[in-house]
Amino acid sequence: MRRPLAALALALAVAVIAVAASKADAHPLGNFTVNHLTEVSVTRDAVRLRYILDVAEIPTFQARHQSRAQTLQRARAEVAGGLVVTVDGRRVALRDAGAARLSYPRGQGGLNTTRIELPLTATAGGAGLVALRDGTYADRIGYTAIVARPGAGTAVRSNVSSEDPTRGLHAYPKSVIDRPLDQRAATLRVRSGDATLVAPRFSGGDTVMTSSRAGDGFAGVFEDAAAGKATLLLLLLAALGWGALHALSPGHGKAMVAAYLVGSRGTSRHALALGAVVTVTHTIGVFALGLVTLLLAQYILPEDLYPWLTLASGLMVVAIGSAVLRSRVLLYRGRRRHEHAHPHGHEHEHSDGLKHSHGHEHGHDHHEGSGHRHDVPDTITWKGLIAMGASAGLIPCPSALVVLLGAVAQHQVALGLLLILAFSVGLAATLAALGLLVVHARRATARLRVSPRLVTVLPAASALVIVCLGCLLVLQAAPKLL
Amino acid sequence: MRRIARPRVLLVPAVAFVVALGAFQALDGSSTTARARPENPDALTKRGNNELQRARETADPARYTRAETAFRRALRLQPRSVDATVGLATLALARHDFRTGLRYAQRARRLGPRLARPLSVLVDAQVELGRYGPAGRSLQRMIDLQPSLASYARVSYFRELHGDLAGARAAMSLAVSAGAGAPENVAYVQTLLGDLEALRGHPRAARRAYSAALTGVAGYVPALASRAQLDAAGGRLAAAIRGYEVVVRRRPLPQYVIALGETQQVAGRDAAARETFALVDAERRLLAANRVNTDVEIALFEADHGDRGRALRLARRAWRDAPSVRSADAVSWALTRSGRARDGLAWARRALRLGSRDPLVLTRAGLSARAAGDRGAARRYLRRALRANPRFSVVWAPRARRALRALA
Amino acid sequence: MRKLPVAGALGAALAAALIAVSLSPGSSHREAPNIMLDPSADNTDTYAFTANDAPDKLTVVANWVPGGNPANGPNFFRFDDRARYYISIDNTGDGKPDIRYRFVFKTKVSNTSYRQSLINVQSIDDPRLLQSQRYSIVRETYTNGKPNKPRTIASNLPVAPSNSGPKSFPNYSKVAGEAIKVIGNSKYFAGQRDDAFFIDLGAAFDNINLRLLTGSTGLGTDTQADTSIQTITMQVPESDVTRDHKPVAGPDADNATVGVWASTERRKLQVTNARFDSNKGARGSWVQVSRLGTPLINELFVPSGQKDAFNKSTPDTDNARIKKYLLTPEFARQINALPGELLTNEVGLPIKLPVKLNVPETDRTDLVETFLTGMPGLNQIDKTDPLPTDTLKLNMGVAPARTPNRFGILGGDRAGFPNGRRLEDDATDIFVQLVAGFFKDNKISAGDGVDQNDKPFLDTFPYQAAPTSGFEQKVGRRQEPPHLPTPPGDNPQIPILPQLPPLRLPIGPQLPIGPTVP
């Protein structure tokens, strides 16, 4: 039982990643673009530049008859004519500062793209004001940016950001409207200092200070990484916590779990195992539903899809609630007959020791109900436990789906998987805790001499509540579908 | 023992979680930036519309992504925003996802039943999906509510599809006269007016319209392309090729590249034409890689210059995505070129079912009819193709004439 | 279930990811623009007043084509040849026009060039003016709602060209001045002028950007500075527009008040009517696409889903159509919400205004009276049973003020808005203070902080200043200098706050209006 499920989970995870990956491969700015980025740093005696050019498939194809040398030469000519650097108002000549790099990374449709990196430098001893204007490829669409970097021996205040979300035109994050798309000018005010740079955040607003002895901005990268990690931890904790809370919402088979543990000789170990099984199956369930949603979303608006999902989940909740209710009612009837037969026996058992009374009660139950088909087995077998956990965990859970789809939408599939896992662990923790609670509560109820009738009626009542909640979901979904 | 939490309680952690996700994204620096600044749905919609307009002007797909972000944020703040919904419909249409476009348009129409704007996208989607009856009704409602450049231009296209070139011209000139806030919009309708004049055999009026468009927006690519086409049809092949080369360098859309290659072919520059056609093939591969197939031009190109089997597959897929008369024309021609002229003729009838007087479609229909052995229909179609303007195309007009001579 | 809105949002983001794959290199399917901005038919402002230099005449200024940036060439600004421009007058109070002036334009385009002009244009008939417009005026009159035979007043009148700069027009004022035409006892002018409207639209089109500390104390930014409009300005004898064809004897005369509005009509088409051909002069029916009487009514009261319908409608339907929106104005609720909504300033500090604005939100019969029926004893057309109609109601018997108060009626100046509307009237501030409850004993000194136009008005016809030329044009913003709080809405309970940077509003009204701090 466990193995096929695990295999399914793996297959689904791979499928989800594959879908997302194939989308992410697409050159996000289109196959027409000529993208360029200029990194600029001002050191004590020079302006250092790195001009990066990323030419998409179509323009690369249009220039396919050029030799490497010609391609480089054209790019150099474009830069020489279009990239203007002025130091204190005077235009300065740009020289090569190392070997240019040219490569043809594989693009879409079996076509190549072109990538060129030109290290450049200009003499600028004691510069006060360095201005840059990028007039290259002015009639081509594409991402254009200037990024400031700290330079040795200077303190620079820049009007362009030091952040580069493209990591040197290697990746194009989903663009955001606050960001400039076509940044072609930069001004840097330079004083002598210790490789510091004050620059605005990419998205505008406040400024951020970067400093680096090497002048390569590594410190900033580490800072970001550290910040990122801290948030990741927080995020995982949030997912865990949310999962734990979420387990309390209807449709997670708590009733079934509890009923199972109440109705069978459940121990703490069983409760924990049940939790683990729920984690696995729930993760799989979410992935499966995620995949279905991804596929459906190609044909249906998500806004139109969600009411259907709600309806489906509502109907499912109703079905589960009804099933539990039915089994409870059957059990109750059976028990009532049993109570009539052995009223004293019960009281005696309850005032008696825990284990004994419990076993006894079930013995009677079993005996009385043996003629009926019922969902609550007598003893816990591992097979039964897993089946129970699977049916509890496989119930579709839109909230977890939200997490996964959100992460996929943000091109963060790995993060999404991790979060789902954390979420499921949280979910399982609650269910396991609930299981433990049930196991112990059973003992407590025994001690408290709660009417056995109540013990039997309570699950039925809760099943009724589940049915009602399911109906509510259906009712809420229905008007949107009409 | 098992308190069932009310769903409302769960909203809090859910929201907290999503916010945390957003914060992570922001700090990760790779996606959305979570900014404390509150946003205004109207301003966001306005921004989205500006990005859409810029996308029209530059053909830069990144603008579409930005527009989409703006519209979705606006919708998040104001789920019943008509303008943001119309924006998403416009985006879907621009991406040739006509069915999604139709659904958003219908949603916008439900949200703003007394507004003209949702009707514009509704009409576009219905036309592209071949639902001409409903499209006509939507369009009539739109123009009754608000005659403007947007509605006049759509009336013009609708009339053109139905073969009413004079009426189309009249409506388009109303659109030009009405004008719009963005010069590009005016240049666009001026170019279309020129195209209608060219179709009607008035090359001078057409050239005037293109000049007007180019005065309004310097280097306006669609006007340059149309002017090159006019040059080619008028036999000025060198000028046409120069014009197309400029266009293809600025914006290598398949239809422009194909036109360049075909003009080069007619001019006898076969080597250059082969090179140009190689670019079309590259674009076809990119389209396939991006799973975008609603490209009638490429299907027609494949039928004439490439792999006929592929042409048929592409055309059928175009028909599946957008069952319009344009797609029917592509299916028809792909069938005829694959040796199934009888089926081709049936599809040609479908392409002409509205009464189109598009000489290219008529020529292809005539050639299909000839290949299918229906000489009467062939003559009828070819004569009609040559009637309004005997020099409608440097490639197709001579073909039509030759076929007609052979039939006589 | 409650989670689903979030799910919807993220699901939408998911869809975004799915279709945000690299865009296909497109194809030629039609993508006609669907932005409904339609400047050439868009009424921007209507003014009706009695001018100081023409006390026995009605002066109407009707503006179209908003936001003209003079440097936006080579397209020159113009009226639409295929539209009909109207100034309508209701002198019976039923909301139906009794007299309509129809203006129809014709563009002359030189075949040789699409530039507006060659250099050194000396007069309005100069052949160096390559593109120009001419217009004709038709006066329609109605008796009991039935049209009489329309009368052509004049035709082939010149339209003042767009001011492209001193090289083209060494003496623009002279050239434009030649577009003033005197016909009988009336004067007419059509063409480009500086937009008389002044407002701090702030970043209403960017982020709602509230400039605190503005209002009655200046410091607002006139975002309309330097922008131009296309105007039709006319000055006609009172006897041409009164119900009894007689001049107005005094403010209490029965014929003293008229309602004025401007509108635009475009031709309706039959989508599949092949017979239609504009070359043959075939007639299509006309449909009104825009109308404007009182400023800001459509912008601030009419819900967005009704705006197209409002523009199509006529004032006689306003009782059923818009009265309800004035009785319980959404805008009043928005003003009340302003202080609580001030979330953060630029440095992220949460700021709350320690005020309650107490704007009455229901039963605003005062607004219906000021804007729709006319004020008793001042500018009701039908004094016994005034019908709510959105027209600019001017009592022509009130003598013009020598020194107009920009708050009009609110400042005790009976010759100003909402009795008609003068160019000097600070419509935004008046409007805000009225909605805030000026006539309901809730006087709040609120406003946009812009008190006057960037350019002084002319003392003589056509009153609006000459447009800024494309050559001289600066980016259109002017900041009002700070000054002491000005009446009328004195509201001492609002404390003075320290200097703060501009604040951002989360969800603001369409106009950023700062609760004022005197």
DSSP output for A209-231: EEE-SSSS-HHHHHHHHHHHHHH
Average pLDDT over residues B364-382: 96
Residues A286 and A401: beta-carbon distance below 8 Å: yes
Which pLDDT value is given to residue B346? 97
Rounded to a whole number of angstroms, the distance from the CA of A23 to the nearest CA of chain C is 6
Is it the case that residue B268 has pLDDT exceeding 50? Answer: yes
Cα–Cα dist B19/B124, whole Å: 37
Residues C339 and C353: beta-carbon distance below 8 Å: yes
User: Looking at per-residue confidence, does A140 or B114 come out higher?
Assistant: B114
Is it the case that residue B339 has pLDDT exceeding 50? Answer: yes
Q: Which residues from C are below 8 Å from B290, CB to CB?
A: 21-24
Task: Provide the CA B218 distance to its chain's centre, in angstroms.
Answer: 22
pLDDT range class, residue C504, cuts 50, 70, 90:
very low
Q: What value does the mean pLDDT of chain A take? A: 67
Cα–Cα dist A282/A398, whole Å: 11
**Dihedral over Cα of A24, A28, A33, A36: its sign:** negative
pLDDT range class, residue C4, cuts 50, 70, 90:
very low
Tens digit of each residue's pLDDT (9 = 90 or more) over C147-191: 999 999 999 999 998 888 888 888 999 999 999 999 999 999 999
Residues 6+ apart with CB under 8 A from B240: B228, B229, B231, B232, B263, B394
Helix (H, G, I), strand (E, B) or coil at B229: helix
Helix (H, G, I), strand (E, B) or coil at A28: coil
Is it the case that residue C210 has pLDDT exceeding 50? Answer: no
Distances (CA, A) of B342 to B309, B317, B348, B364, B373: 17, 20, 10, 13, 8
Is it the case that residue C237 has pLDDT exceeding 90? Answer: yes
- Closest residue to A58, CB basis, from B23, B32, B283: B283
Helix (H, G, I), strand (E, B) or coil at C416: coil
Tell whether B32 is within 8 A of chain A (Cβ): yes
User: Looking at per-residue confidence, does B297 or B364 come out higher?
Assistant: B364
Q: Under an 8 A CB cutoff, do A232 and B24 touch?
A: yes
Which pLDDT value is given to residue B180? 81
Show the tokens assigned to C230. 């296309």
Q: Which amino acid is at A407?
A: A
Average pLDDT over residues A11-23: 35
Rounded to a whole number of angstroms, the distance from the CA of B297 to the nearest CA of chain A is 17
pLDDT range class, residue A303, cuts 50, 70, 90:
very low
Is it the case that residue B348 has pLDDT exceeding 50? Answer: yes
Rounded to a whole number of angstroms, the distance from the CA of A347 to the nearest CA of chain C is 43
Tens digit of each residue's pLDDT (9 = 90 or more) over C90-100: 999 999 999 99
Under an 8 Å CB criterion, which residues of C touch A? 1, 3-4, 6-8, 10-18, 20-23, 25
Average pLDDT over residues B66-89: 90
Q: Which residues from C are below 8 Å from A29, CB to CB?
A: 22
Is it the case that residue A230 has pLDDT exceeding 90? Answer: no
- Closest residue to A405, CB basis, from C1, C11, C23: C11
Residues C417 and C500: beta-carbon distance below 8 Å: no
Is it the case that residue C53 has pLDDT exceeding 70? Answer: yes
Which pLDDT value is given to residue C75? 54
Q: What value does the mean pLDDT of chain C take? A: 76
Q: Under an 8 A CB cutoff, do B61 and A29 touch?
A: yes
Which pLDDT value is given to residue B239? 97
Tell which phi-psi region holds residue B287, choosing left (phi > 0), alpha (psi between -120 and 50) or beta: alpha
Residues 6+ apart with CB under 8 A from B212: B187, B190, C114
Tell whether A35 is within 8 A of chain C (Cβ): no
Which pLDDT value is given to residue C184? 93
Q: Which residues from C are below 8 Å from B166, CB to CB?
A: 274, 277
- Radius of gyration of chain C, Cα coordinates, nearest whole angstrom: 24
- Closest residue to A302, CB basis, from C8, C20, C22: C8
Angle between helices B341-351 and B359-372 (to 10 degrees): 150
Which pLDDT value is given to residue A344? 42
Cα–Cα dist A73/A337, whole Å: 96
Which range among A100-104, C456-460, C479-483 shows the weakest confidence by mean pLDDT?
C479-483
User: Looking at per-residue confidence, does B344 or A367 come out higher?
Assistant: B344
**Dihedral over Cα of C240, C242, C245, C251: its sign:** negative
Which pLDDT value is given to residue B32? 28
Which pLDDT value is given to residue C222? 64
Q: Under an 8 A CB cutoff, do C274 and B167 touch?
A: yes
Residues A290 and A404: beta-carbon distance below 8 Å: yes
- Radius of gyration of chain B, Cα coordinates, nearest whole angstrom: 24
Residues A40 and B234: beta-carbon distance below 8 Å: no
Angle between helices A413-448 and A268-296 (to 10 degrees): 140
Rounded to a whole number of angstroms, the distance from the CA of C59 to the nearest CA of chain A is 47
Which pLDDT value is given to residue A378? 44
Record the pTM.
0.71
Tens digit of each residue's pLDDT (9 = 90 or more) over C476-493: 455 555 554 454 444 333
Which range among B50-64, B80-94, C264-278 shows the weakest confidence by mean pLDDT?
C264-278
What number of other Cβ atoms are within 10 A of residue A119's Cβ? 16
Cα–Cα dist A23/A294, whole Å: 12
Tens digit of each residue's pLDDT (9 = 90 or more) over A80-92: 999 999 998 889 9
Catalogue the E-assigned strands of C249-296. Answer: 257-267, 286-292
- Closest residue to A462, CB basis, from B2, B29, B30: B2
Average pLDDT over residues A286-307: 60
Is it the case that residue B159 has pLDDT exceeding 70? Answer: yes
Which pLDDT value is given to residue C113? 63
Which pLDDT value is given to residue C339? 56
Which pLDDT value is given to residue B126? 96
Name the percent of chain A lying above pLDDT 90.
Answer: 13
Is it the case that residue B301 has pLDDT exceeding 80? Answer: yes
What number of other Cβ atoms are within 10 A of residue C473's Cβ? 19
Residues C222 and C453: beta-carbon distance below 8 Å: yes
Helix (H, G, I), strand (E, B) or coil at A48: strand
Any chains having at least 3 CB pairs less than 8 A from chain A are B, C
Residues A423 and A400: beta-carbon distance below 8 Å: yes
- Closest residue to B17, CB basis, from A173, A239, A466: A239
Which range among A303-317, B353-367, C111-125, C209-223 shows the weakest confidence by mean pLDDT?
C209-223
User: Looking at per-residue confidence, does C325 or A344 come out higher?
Assistant: C325
Cross-strand pairs, C160: C191
Most confident of A238-252, A335-349, C428-442: C428-442
Type and span of the H or E element at A268: helix A268-296
User: Looking at per-residue confidence, does A139 or C500 come out higher?
Assistant: A139
Which range among A442-446, B19-23, C76-80, C275-279 shows the weakest confidence by mean pLDDT?
B19-23
Q: Which of C3, C29, C34 to mutate to test the interface with B (most CBs of B within 10 A)?
A: C34
Residues A135 and A184: beta-carbon distance below 8 Å: yes
pLDDT range class, residue C395, cuts 50, 70, 90:
very high
pLDDT range class, residue A331, cuts 50, 70, 90:
low
Note the ipTM here. Answer: 0.82
Average pLDDT over residues A49-60: 91
Of B115, B121, B150, nearest to B135 by C-alpha is: B121
Average pLDDT over residues A120-137: 88
Tell which phi-psi region holds residue C213, choosing left (phi > 0), alpha (psi between -120 and 50) or beta: left
pLDDT range class, residue A477, cuts 50, 70, 90:
low
Distances (CA, A) of C254 to C251, C394, C397: 9, 13, 10
Residue C418: asked if its preceding bond is cis (omega within 30°), the reply is yes
Is it the case that residue B291 has pLDDT exceeding 70? Answer: no
Tens digit of each residue's pLDDT (9 = 90 or more) over C114-151: 667 777 888 898 888 888 899 999 999 999 888 999 99
pLDDT range class, residue B14, cuts 50, 70, 90:
very low
Q: Under an 8 A CB cutoff, do A29 and C1 touch?
A: no
Residues C311 and C289: beta-carbon distance below 8 Å: yes
Tens digit of each residue's pLDDT (9 = 90 or more) over A406-431: 555 444 556 667 777 787 888 778 87
pLDDT range class, residue C84, cuts 50, 70, 90:
very high
Of C417, C322, C407, nearest to C379 by C-alpha is: C417
Which pLDDT value is given to residue A385? 66
Task: Provide the CA C106 distance to its chain's centre, in angstroms.
Answer: 24
**Closest alpha carbon within chain A to C4:** A306
pLDDT range class, residue A197, cuts 50, 70, 90:
confident
- Closest residue to C305, CB basis, from B11, B65, B114: B114
